[in-house]
Chain A
Amino acid sequence: GQQLNQSPQSMFIQEGEDVSMNCTSSSIFNTWLWYKQDPGEGPVLLIALYKAGELTSNGRLTAQFGITRKDSFLNISASIPSDVGIYFCAGLPGAGSYQLTFGKGTKLSVIP
């Protein structure tokens, strides 16, 4: 099945550093979502974006909905050890479809 192009696949960063990851698609989406998944758990929603060009923050997290509707970015500022996990982007096409298409994930490791 289709998966979004998410990069990087993995990151090792020092505590306190900022993190950036992105997601691209060949298709247009009307909604972009960012999830975090911890080992043995289901994905937890971090940020939802509904409008092209929209920039939304949730604490230290900031995400943007690309103006082409084919990409999205997630930034994490001042990383802390509990940021460790796998981050997934997901797109919803809209037009009555509620089928989420996910990226392959970015595995984040934070070195104290």
Chain B
Amino acid sequence: DAGVTQSPTHLIKTRGQQVTLRCSPKSGHDTVSWYQQALGQGPQFIFQYYEEEERQRGNFPDRFSGHQFPNYSSELNVNALLLGDSALYLCASSLYGYSGNTIYFGEGSWLTVV
């Protein structure tokens, strides 16, 4: 039973570029959330997708956008990259409507903006 898988593991981008990160949820899960974790900080909620729609959004600018596909996998897109976007991006999958112990995290994608 595969857990949450994310790709790529590491990537380096230049300021102003765009990036796409990918996530496949745990088998049986239908909901994907994205978090940004800056160095030395706890994860910050970006947004959540369920039934291919953005259901909740944290305090992040419109440069951050996402998509969920019919197979429940998801993408996170960040446009016009800033140096401050350098962080670990975590994908969490869960079962919509169920309690906190169904939330599983992937190992993350390390983004460095230079």
Contacts and interface: CB of A to CB of B under 8 A. Distances in A.
Interface string B77-111: 00000000000001010101001110111111000
Given A97-B56, A98-B31, A98-B56, A44 B105 contact: yes
B49 to A, nearest CB: 11
A92 interface: yes
Interface residues of B, number: 28
Given A31-B100, A42-B108, A102 B42 contact: yes
Nearest to B44: A1
A66 interface: no
14 contacts: A1-B44, A3-B42, A33-B100, A45-B100, A45-B103, A48-B101, A99-B45, A99-B48, A100-B33, A100-B35, A100-B45, A100-B103, A104-B42, A105-B42
